[in-house]
């Protein structure tokens, strides 16, 4: 072990570095009424070579000893392990709520977070818009072009949805070719604006996307009245029905979405 060195205020660079660890990051300096820092002892909190933080103590009346250094180092080791475990747990939670293919929330994540927002809406009186989106023709893409191309179409649709909404809106892949969004703090007129915005984004993608098919989304939107008390599943069913109404108005022949595949057709439903 290296010899213990007690840092004094005159050791300016080391003192400033230690002070950063000693003071709460939210504080603007030493708390009011705190005695001046005369000496301190600190140890880095390391886990497998990664710096997780620092543990520091200050102003011991009789100065610090090697035993003090051992104790602070042990505390730093325990702190580093606790931080690592918390980060690992957070990653596991994130994985359990996130769709691996698209990076959007999965069904569980969407229902959990959107459900919480709806409960909050009842208290705040703010309206939201529930949006249900279906990727047209995915079965055709999978059957004719392969599942790898189908996965790419799903990712393309997710990217369009991600770009069309705010980061604060809750966006999820409900499974297969279905997506849902809860657009927060919106009025009754927002649904039509959202649908138009999505269609414009799809049109821009098809101009530049370079895919052997035309990407197509069917969209249904429902205003969430905070006074209505309707649960999330019911709202999504209504948005889903409106989405299928739109889908039903489209040409159901795969030729409506395929570019240059010589008449090989199938259902786009």
For the annotated catalytic residues, the residue numbers are 177
User: How far is it, in rounded angstroms, from Cα 49 to Cα 117?
Assistant: 40
Residue 8, both tokens: 């004094």
User: How far is it, in rounded angstroms, from Cα 258 to Cα 178?
Assistant: 20
Of 128, 224, 247, nearest in space to 177 by CA: 247
Query: Length of the chain, please?
Result: 269
74 by DSSP, 3-state: which? helix
| Extended beta strands in the chain, E state | 7-8, 39-47, 50-58, 128-135, 170-175, 178-183, 217-224
CA angle 132, 145, 210 (to 5 degrees): 75
């Amino acid at each position: 072990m290296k010899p213990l060195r007690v840092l004094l205020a005159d050791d300016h660079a080391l003192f400033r570095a230690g002070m950063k660890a000693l003071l709460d990051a939210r504080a603007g300096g030493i708390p009011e009424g705190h005695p001046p820092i005369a000496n301190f002892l600190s140890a880095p909190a390391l886990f497998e070579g990664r710096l997780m933080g620092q543990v520091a103590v200050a102003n011991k009346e009789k100065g610090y000893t090697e035993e003090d250094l051992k104790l602070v180092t042990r505390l730093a080791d325990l702190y580093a392990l606790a931080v690592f475990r918390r980060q690992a747990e957070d990653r596991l939670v994130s994985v359990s709520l996130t769709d691996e293919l698209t990076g959007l929330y999965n069904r569980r994540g969407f229902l959990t977070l959107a459900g919480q927002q709806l409960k909050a809406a009842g208290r705040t009186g703010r309206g939201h818009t529930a949006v249900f989106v279906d990727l047209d023709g995915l079965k055709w893409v999978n059957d004719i072009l392969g599942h790898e191309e189908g996965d790419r179409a799903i990712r393309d649709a997710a990217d369009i949805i991600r770009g069309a909404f705010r980061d604060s809106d809750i966006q999820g892949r409900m499974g297969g070719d279905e997506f849902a969004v809860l657009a927060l703090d919106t009025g009754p007129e927002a649904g039509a604006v959202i649908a138009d915005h999505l269609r414009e984004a799809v049109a821009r993608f098809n101009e530049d996307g370079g895919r052997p098919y035309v990407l197509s989304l069917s969209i249904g939107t429902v205003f969430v009245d905070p006074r209505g008390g309707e649960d999330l599943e019911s709202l999504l069913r209504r948005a889903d029905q409106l989405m299928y109404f739109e889908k039903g108005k489209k040409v159901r022949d795969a030729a409506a979405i395929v570019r240059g595949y010589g008449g090989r057709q199938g259902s786009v439903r």
